Amino acid sequence: MSDEWIIIILMVFMAISGVAIARLHNLFAVVMLTGIFSLLGAAAYVVLDAVDVAFTEAAVGAGISTVLMLGTLALTTSEEKPTPPRHMLAALAVVGITGAVLLYGTLDMPHYGDPNAPVHHHVAPRYLEESEKEIGLPNVVTSVLASYRGYDTLGETFVIFTAAAGVLAILGRVRRPKRRNERGQTTEETLK
C-alpha cells in the first residue's frame, strides 16, 4: 500500500516538472528539470523492483543526457526565442484528443501486477525457473540480456557504436585548436 503512495507522489512530481518544462523559456532550467524528471522516474523504477532499469535511467537519463544537453546549450543559446501563441485552441484539441486515444489504448492492456497478463505466460516463467540451471547466474536480468537475448544486445551495442560514429562524422572533423591567422580568421572559418 505504501508503495502505491510513493509511486503516486513520484508521478505527481513528474507531472509538475513536465508542466514546468513545457512552460519555461529558460532552456538551462528546462535541462535541469528533465534531469530531475529522469531521477524521479528512476526512483519509481526502484519502487517497482526494476533496479537494473532504474540504474540505467539514473545514469543515462539524469546523468549523461543532461550533460549532453548542457553541451548543446553551450553551443547554441540558453534562452528560447519567444514565439507569439497561435492556434492555441487547435493545439489544445490535438493534445487532448491524442491523450484520450492513448488512454483508450491502455484500457485493453492488463492491469498493473496482473498475474494473468500474457507477458507472465510467454517465456518469462521459463527464464525465471530455468536460468539458474541453464546459465548459472543469480541475476536473471543479466542472463536474459546477455545470453537468451544476446543477439538483441549485440544490436543495441551496434546502435551505440553507430551513434558515436555519427557524432564523429558530423562534429568530429575540426581537430585543430582555434588560432587566428594574419587576417583575423579562425581556423574553422578558413576550413569552410
Partner 1 sequence: MNEKLILRVVSKFLIPYILLFALYVQWHGDFGPGGGFQAGVIFAAGFILYALIFGVAPVREVIPAAFTRYLLAVGVLLYSSVGVASLLMGGNFLDYNVLAHEATHGQHIGILLVELGVGITVACAMITIFCTFAGRAELNAPEEEEED
- Which residues of this chain interact with partner 1, rule CB under 8 A? 51-52, 54-56, 59-60, 63-64, 67-68, 71-72, 74-75, 133-139, 141-143, 145-147, 150-151, 153-154, 156-158, 160-161, 163-165, 167-168, 171-172, 174-175, 177-178, 188
Shortest distance in whole angstroms from residue 181 CB to partner 1? 15
Closest approach, Cβ 81 to partner 1, in A, equals 20
Q: Which is nearer to partner 1, 72 or 98 (CB)?
A: 72
Measured from the CB atom, is 99 or 172 closer to partner 1?
172
Residue nearer to partner 1 on the CB measure, 37 or 148: 148
**Alpha carbon distance 42, 45 (integer Å):** 5
| Side-chain half-sphere CA neighbours of 169 within 13 A | 6
Minimal distance, residue 186 CB to partner 1, in Å: 8
Q: Looking at beta carbons only, is 18 or 150 nearer to partner 1?
A: 150
